Amino acid sequence: MISPPRGASRVRPPASADRDRWNPLWQGYLRFYRHHLPEEVTEATFARLIDPKAPLQGLVAERDSALVGFVTYQFHPSTWSLRDYCYLEDLYVDPAARGGGVGRALIQAVYEKADRAKAATVYWMTQEFNAEGRALYDTLARRTSFIRYERL
Is residue 3 within the footprint of a copy of itself (CB under 8 A)?
no
Nearer to a copy of itself, 6 or 151 (CB): 151
10 Å Cβ neighbour count for 67?
A: 20
Nearer to a copy of itself, 5 or 146 (CB): 146
Nearer to a copy of itself, 116 or 142 (CB): 142
Q: How far apart are the first and last CA of the chain?
A: 49
Residues in a beta bridge with 91:
71
Is residue 11 within the footprint of a copy of itself (CB under 8 A)?
no
The CA–CA distances, whole Å, from 99 to 2, 9, 102 equal 24, 12, 8
DSSP letter at 129 equals T
> In the complex, what is the shortest distance from the CB of residue 20 to a copy of itself, in angstroms, rounded to a whole number?
18
Q: Give the C-alpha separation, 131 to 129, whole Å.
A: 6
List interacting residues with a copy of itself (CB under 8 A): 32-35, 37, 40-41, 44-45, 48-49, 54-56, 72, 74, 76-82, 87, 89-90, 111, 114, 121-131, 134-152
